[in-house]
Amino acid sequence: MKQYVLFGMLFMTFQTHSQNAVKITFLPKFERENLTLNKVYYFKNDTLNISNFKCYISNLTYYKNDSIVHSSIKKAHLIDATDSRSFIIMENEFFKFDKIRFNIGVDSLTNVSGIFEGDLDPANGMYWTWQSGYINFKLEGTSSLCPARKNKFYWHIGGYSPPYNTLRQVSLKTNGKVSIQLDKLFEEIDISEEYQIMSPNDNAVQIADKFVFLFNTTR
């Protein structure tokens, strides 16, 4: 009988712990809407369709009153617009925080440390086998302003070595929800000129510089 009581108490403790565990939700958005892949967006003088969006969040650290209270155990987390479960980063404990800091992309040490499993598995389509490095941020689709065949654009932003290091850091005051405002990229980038970026170069670095403005606290 005591064993059953003990098991029940442990189960209730685990359940309460899971319910109270900290989580961060990243919400890919286009203007005020949650991003919908393969939807037509009429944006300024352009007609856009986003077919693929993925990016890495790494080295996630939590702060309270500017002091570190927790560092995420997970090395890197892949946000994939085809899977809403990937929008959530769940920690295994409860703590209070008022700010987070994280990298957009994968750091140089991880890039040179061989092949990993899970979110860093090359099978996720975020690794250049020819380049031996990770793609930090991937956005694909069509634009009426894009002069390429079938109006397709490909932004595969990666690179971990100077002068083409595209890793960027973000710090945010947040309550646990962060929006990724993809429309802001199209405000800043002339897609008629920069529509196929698939290797580390100057254009990739310039686009990476804009990443920090995509991430904002949301309710």
Q: What is the pLDDT averaged over residues 116-125?
A: 95
The whole-model pTM stands at 0.90
Confidence of residue 132 (pLDDT cuts 50, 70, 90): confident
Please say if the pLDDT value at position 20 is more than 60: yes
Provide the mean pLDDT of the chain: 91
Place of tokens 């008022």: 98
DSSP bridge pairs for 146: none
Angle, CA of 208, 109 and 113, to the nearest 5°? 120
Q: What is the pLDDT averaged over residues 113-131?
A: 92
What would the pLDDT profile of 61-82 be if each residue is shown by its tens digit? Answer: 999 999 999 999 888 999 999 9
Please say if the pLDDT value at position 99 is more than 70: yes
| pLDDT for 217 | 93
The DSSP-derived string for the chain is -HHHHHHHHHHHHHHHHHHH--EEEEEEEETTEEP-TT-EEEETTEEEEEEEEEEEEEEEEEEETTEEEEE-S-SEEEEETT-GGGGEEE-SS----SEEEEEES--HHHHTS----GGG-GGGS-EETTTTEEEEEEEEEEETT--SGGGEEEEEEE--STTS---EEEEEE-SSEEEEETHHHHHHS-TTTS-EE-SSSHHHHHHHTTGGGTEEE--
> Where does residue 106 rank: exposed (0-12), middle (13-18), buried (19+ CB within 10 A)?
buried
Q: What is the pLDDT averaged over residues 107-114?
A: 92
Please say if the pLDDT value at position 14 is more than 90: no
Please say if the pLDDT value at position 157 is more than 80: yes
| pLDDT for 200 | 95
What would the pLDDT profile of 133-147 be if each residue is shown by its tens digit? Answer: 999 999 999 999 999
Cβ atoms of 115 and 43 closer than 8 Å:
no
Confidence of residue 167 (pLDDT cuts 50, 70, 90): very high
- Residue 163: cis peptide before it, omega within 30 degrees of 0: yes
16 compared with 171, residue with greater pLDDT: 171
Cβ atoms of 43 and 31 closer than 8 Å:
yes
